[in-house]
Amino acid sequence: MSAHFSLADLETNDGRAPRGGRERRFLCPLCGDAKARDAAHRSLAVNTQTGTWLCHRCGERGLLTDNRTERAPQSGRERARAAVARAFTLPPRDNAPQSQPEATEATWRAWWETSAPLTGNGATTGAAYVAGRGLPADVASAAGVRYSTAFYGRPAVLFPVHDRSGALVAVSGRFTDGRANPKTQTAGKKSNGVFATPGALVAPLIAVCEAPMDALSLHLCGIPALALIGTNWPEWLPAALAFRFVLPATDADKAGDDAAAKLQPSLEARGARTLRLRPRGAKDWSELLEQRGAAGLRAYLAPFSATMNDERRGLWAAELHLAGRADAAQFVAGLMADALTREQARARLRRLAGSVCGELPDTLIIPADVPNDEASLRRCIDAQREPLPDIGSAA
């Protein structure tokens, strides 16, 4: 047997050795067999906590392989060097997100002030990043998005977070260097504000998302939107959205569903009309924009576009009703600007009550000369099979 042995090896070599205790004695496997195998000749002492051993007969010493990660230092100098090496060894690297120290207000405001507009000189990387996600740089720039080369020491697209009065209270950054450790970081008091697309906080219809890129994706489709930078909202938000049409458009996952379910009653208690708008086939609206492209996503969300006229919105309301989504139909009908047209649409929905439900298309293709009745609508719809947006249905 070599000098590299474990505690189990010693117990196998000396099966009658006493067990238990910090210090144990064994017959030394290095001293040969020319000695009696009794308690008097158990000359090898082992410290079972440290794994160090010493034979008082032959003088050999070492470290059990159970405790060995590398060769045990044999001399005092080696032991001293090993101790210094252990003291200065860095902890192992892992893939967990590395949190940065919280930036002071002066620091993050300086980052913001030294950042560049996406459409300005030196912001090529930021413009390329949003364009790669399906968003024109000028659309993002109009919403106040900027680019920094040194946000927490890394290049990032920056999204401003404002409170109800319009004051900048935080900056949310999406890093563009390809590292995911972390991908995003926020500086400032984000719990005091939201990221909002132009005019969203005063628009009659508004969508509430989690991330700024989601809000910009909906804005690109004609839907004013804001981002919570997460799933929590500032205390002032429900009151600010009172008596408005609100689309809780958080992510298609448990956290997003829970946030929407919690937000809706808080808004409705203040007179708001709400309808859950949940992405289908993707986790969030930014991902859906990348999948479908701007034209595809606009068609998918057509009933909520601010540019849709009352006549076509009424047709959408009817189609949603025929799909069995009465709440969504009433919500869309309520968006009609003309009061008389709106009441006519609601009366029409009542006439269509009880229609057979089914999966209907997500793009409205109804020629202008089609009569405005259920049978004519059904004939146009029968040739179209893709599902409508996941609106007004269970999450």
Answer yes or no: is 65 within a domain.
yes
Residue 194 has what DSSP assignment?
A: B
Answer yes or no: is 96 within a domain.
no
Tokens of 375: 């049978």
Tokens of 270: 């203040």
Answer yes or no: is 94 within a domain.
no
pLDDT at residue 22, rounded to an integer: 83
Q: Kindly report, residue by residue over 40-98, the tens digit of the pLDDT.
A: 788 989 998 888 889 888 888 888 887 765 555 556 666 666 666 666 655 555 454 55
CATH at residue 221: 3.40.1360.10
CA distance 355 to 82: 81
Backbone angles phi, psi at 313, to 5 degrees: -65, -35
The distance from CA 21 to its chain's CA centroid, rounded to whole angstroms, is 52
* Same-domain check for residues 218 and 269: yes
Q: How far apart are the first and last CA of the chain?
A: 67
Tens digit of pLDDT per residue, the chain (395 long)? 446 788 888 888 888 888 877 889 999 888 877 677 888 788 989 998 888 889 888 888 888 887 765 555 556 666 666 666 666 655 555 454 555 667 899 999 999 999 998 886 656 788 999 999 999 999 999 999 999 999 999 999 999 999 999 999 999 999 999 887 889 999 999 999 999 999 999 999 999 999 999 999 999 999 999 999 999 999 999 999 999 999 999 999 999 999 999 999 999 999 999 999 998 889 999 999 999 999 989 888 888 888 887 878 877 777 777 777 777 878 888 888 777 777 776 766 666 664 444 433 344 444 555 555 556 655 555 544 344 455 544 33
pLDDT at residue 122, rounded to an integer: 56
Helix axes 339-351, 310-322, angle to 10 degrees: 20
Q: Kindly report, residue by residue over 166-197, the tens digit of the pLDDT.
A: 999 999 999 999 887 889 999 999 999 999 99
Q: 184-214 b/e with 16+ CB inside 10 Å = b?
A: bbbbbebbbbbbbbeebbebebbbbbbbbbb
* Same-domain check for residues 215 and 131: no
Structural domains counted in the chain: 4
* Same-domain check for residues 292 and 322: no
ω before 97 within 30° of 0 (cis)?
Answer: no
* Same-domain check for residues 323 and 383: yes
Backbone angles phi, psi at 335, to 5 degrees: -80, -10
Last residue of a domain, one of 50, 83, 116: 83
Q: Residue 325 is part of which domain span?
A: 309-391
Answer yes or no: is 272 within a domain.
yes
Answer yes or no: is 91 within a domain.
no
CA distance 301 to 363: 9
